[in-house]
């Protein structure tokens, strides 16, 4: 964790209401200089509103926004030294790429040649050298978003704010721009906040991910903390996928049970008792056709085998008693599925490694 004094940006207790609706509910976080932060969450959870409050496009009802330790809550967007890129390219269609990029520069730069020089620099920065004379209509989606990025960078902002900048692009362009944007912000040491609803984008690009739900910040951590140590079933299932089984937990023996199934759990779950949710990621469910025995080994029926390219996704039924079963998803490398000759009527063993099982309060859902 970073100390507050090191943060370039601080958001403190920001609440934003639209009428009686609370779009942001007491949100606090910080960003160190040069840090790349991703705000991730389902549609409507308040991501754009958060970004707009940081930018100064929206004024919060409560709380403060600080840049370099100074409260900028009262400052308009033009005084906050931020560059903004939206999902839609928002370019002027009747202006060339050059003119789009130069638009905000003309006021602050005296000579035409200084503007031209800066625009050339920016075109190069975003990989559009030589395309300055093209109009938005003559450029691909990815190229238009590069123009938008160059425009946002024109006045050398201290903070770059990106609102789903890649979501309108096709998959290949998206992946390429991900890498390029990340490399650019890293090279410039530029503090960046990127809103996305795409978990892969957040996991691959961000130093830190803020997960939002219904206007609240529900978890703030590095990508691996968010993925490996989700603090709630919501985060666990929103980022990646997760198997859940509802049952009870015995703290004295460290076991979860449901029907005839007993699962040993390594993690200390001091605060838990009674009804809980046991959770395990599909890639942590180990499938085997050997004669394994012991705790956390169960015989299951394969209900469905789904091809996913490099992996297979197996839908399994874990027997809990006479008739009841719990659905369990396992992911396996394609090579292993083929080697084990697994089909949808196989019976296999699964191991639920005790160190990969986590528990949540049942009412946390
Ligand atoms: N200007 C506004 N007036 C009223 N409601 C708004 C306004 N802007 C956003 N909202 C509402 O606030 C919630 C969060 O919106 P938004 O921040 O755009 O979500 P996200 O970007 O996560 O999809 C939504 O329910 C949205 O309808
Ligand atoms: Mg949005």
Q: Look at phi and psi of residue 126 and say left if phi exceeds 0, alpha if psi is from -120 to 50, else beta.
A: alpha
Round to whole Å and give the CA distance between 362 and 365: 7
Which residues keep their CB under 5 angstroms from ion ligand 2? 47-48
Nearest ligand, measured from the Cα of 58: 1
Distance 38 CA to ligand 2 centre (A): 13
Domain 4-237: CATH class, spelled out: alpha beta
Distances (CA, A) of 75 to 85, 257, 316: 20, 56, 56
The pLDDT value recorded for residue 338 is: 86
The pLDDT value recorded for residue 88 is: 80
| Torsion angle of the four alpha carbons 90, 94, 100, 103, in this order, in degrees rounded to the nearest 10 | -110
Q: Is the pLDDT of residue 103 over 80?
A: yes
118 exposed, middle or buried (CB, 10 Å; 0-12, 13-18, 19+)? buried
Distance 97 CA to ligand 2 centre (A): 25
CA angle at residue 164 from 84 to 108, to 5 degrees? 10
Strands 82-85 and 208-213: unpaired
Per-residue pLDDT, averaged over 214-237, amounts to: 96
Band of the pLDDT at 342, cuts 50, 70, 90? confident
Q: CB of 39 closer than 6 A to ligand 1?
A: no
Band of the pLDDT at 349, cuts 50, 70, 90? very high
Distance 54 CA to ligand 1 centre (A): 15
CA angle at residue 119 from 115 to 123, to 5 degrees? 175
Distance 94 CA to ligand 1 centre (A): 30
Domain boundaries in the chain? 4-237, 241-364
158-184 pLDDT per residue, tens:
999 999 999 988 889 999 999 999 999
Q: CB of 52 closer than 6 A to ligand 1?
A: no
Work out the mean pLDDT of the chain and round it to a whole number. 92
CA nearest ligand 1 atom 25, residue: 44
Q: Is the pLDDT of residue 1 over 60?
A: no
CA nearest ligand 1 atom 1, residue: 18
The encoded tokens of residue 23 equal 């779009």
The pLDDT value recorded for residue 294 is: 81
205-218 pLDDT per residue, tens:
999 999 999 999 99
The pLDDT value recorded for residue 267 is: 80
The pLDDT value recorded for residue 92 is: 94
The pLDDT value recorded for residue 117 is: 93
35-74 pLDDT per residue, tens:
999 999 999 999 999 999 999 999 999 999 999 999 999 9
Nearest ligand, measured from the Cα of 165: 2
Band of the pLDDT at 108, cuts 50, 70, 90? confident
The DSSP H or E segment spanning 226 is helix 223-228
Distance of CA 28 to the CA centre of its chain: 17
Distance 74 CA to ligand 2 centre (A): 23
Percent of the chain topping pLDDT 90: 78
271-318 pLDDT per residue, tens:
787 799 999 999 999 998 777 788 899 999 999 999 999 999 999 999
Asked if the domains at 4-237 and 241-364 fall in one CATH topology, the answer is no
Q: CB of 23 closer than 6 A to ligand 1?
A: yes
Q: CB of 47 closer than 6 A to ligand 1?
A: yes
CA nearest ligand 1 atom 4, residue: 18
* 3-state secondary structure labels for all residues of 172-210: HHHHHHHHHHHHHHHHHCCEEEEEECCHHHHHHHCCEEE
Directed axis angle between helix 171-188 and helix 141-153, to 10°? 20
Q: CB of 45 closer than 6 A to ligand 1?
A: yes
Nearest ligand, measured from the Cα of 39: 1
* Structure letter (DSSP) for residue 284: G
Strands 311-319 and 208-213: unpaired
The pLDDT value recorded for residue 273 is: 77
Q: Is the pLDDT of residue 4 over 80?
A: no
52 C-beta neighbours (distance < 10 Å), count: 21
Asked if 209 contacts 38 with a C-beta cutoff of 8 angstroms, the reply is yes
* Structure letter (DSSP) for residue 259: T
Q: CB of 43 closer than 6 A to ligand 1?
A: yes
The pLDDT value recorded for residue 224 is: 96
Round to whole Å and give the CA distance between 314 and 346: 11
Measured in residues, the chain has a length of: 365
Q: CB of 295 closer than 6 A to ligand 1?
A: no
The pLDDT value recorded for residue 337 is: 86
CA nearest ligand 1 atom 6, residue: 18
Band of the pLDDT at 30, cuts 50, 70, 90? very high
Considering the segment(s) 241-364 as one domain, its CATH architecture is Beta Barrel (2.40)
The pLDDT value recorded for residue 365 is: 55
Q: Is the pLDDT of residue 2 over 60?
A: no
* Structure letter (DSSP) for residue 137: G
CA nearest ligand 1 atom 27, residue: 44
Asked if 335 contacts 287 with a C-beta cutoff of 8 angstroms, the reply is no
Distance 45 CA to ligand 1 centre (A): 8
Round to whole Å and give the CA distance between 314 and 324: 19
The pLDDT value recorded for residue 75 is: 96
Nearest ligand, measured from the Cα of 212: 1
């Amino acid at each position: 964790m970073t100390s507050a004094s090191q943060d370039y940006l601080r958001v403190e207790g920001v609440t934003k209401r639209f009428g009686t609706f609370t779009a942001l509910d007491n949100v606090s976080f910080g960003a160190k200089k040069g840090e790349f932060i991703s705000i991730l969450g389902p549609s409507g959870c308040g991501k754009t509103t958060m970004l707009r409050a940081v930018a100064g496009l929206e004024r919060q009802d409560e709380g403060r926004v600080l840049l370099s330790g100074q409260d900028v809550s009262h400052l308009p967007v033009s005084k906050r030294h931020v560059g903004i890129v939206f999902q839609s390219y928002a370019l002027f269609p009747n202006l060339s790429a050059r003119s789009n990029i130069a638009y905000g520069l003309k006021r602050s730069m005296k000579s035409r040649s200084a503007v031209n020089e800066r625009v050339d620099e920016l075109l190069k920065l975003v990989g559009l050298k030589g395309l300055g004379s093209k109009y938005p209509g003559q450029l691909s989606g990815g190229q238009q978003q590069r123009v938008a990025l160059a425009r946002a960078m024109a006045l050398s902002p201290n903070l770059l704010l990106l609102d789903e900048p890649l979501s309108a692009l096709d998959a290949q362009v998206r992946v390429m721009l991900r890498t390029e944007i990340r490399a650019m912000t890293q090279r410039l040491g530029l503090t960046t906040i990127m809103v996305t609803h795409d978990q892969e984008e957040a996991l691959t690009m961000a130093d830190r991910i803020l997960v939002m739900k219904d206007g609240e910040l529900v978890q703030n951590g590095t990508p691996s903390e968010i993925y490996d140590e989700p603090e709630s079933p919501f985060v666990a299932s929103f980022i990646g996928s997760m198997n859940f089984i509802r049952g009870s937990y015995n703290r004295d023996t460290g076991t979860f049970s449901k029907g005839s199934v007993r699962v040993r759990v390594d993690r200390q779950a001091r605060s838990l008792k009674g009804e809980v949710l046991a959770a395990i990621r599909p890639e942590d469910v180990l499938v085997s056709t050997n004669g394994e025995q012991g705790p956390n080994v169960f015989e299951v029926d394969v209900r469905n085998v789904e091809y996913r390219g490099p992996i297979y996704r197996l839908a399994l039924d874990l027997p809990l008693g006479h008739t009841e079963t719990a659905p369990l998803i396992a992911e396996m490398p394609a090579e292993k599925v083929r080697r084990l000759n697994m089909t949808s009527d196989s019976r296999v063993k699964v191991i639920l490694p005790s160190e990969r099982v986590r528990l949540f309060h049942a009412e946390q859902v």
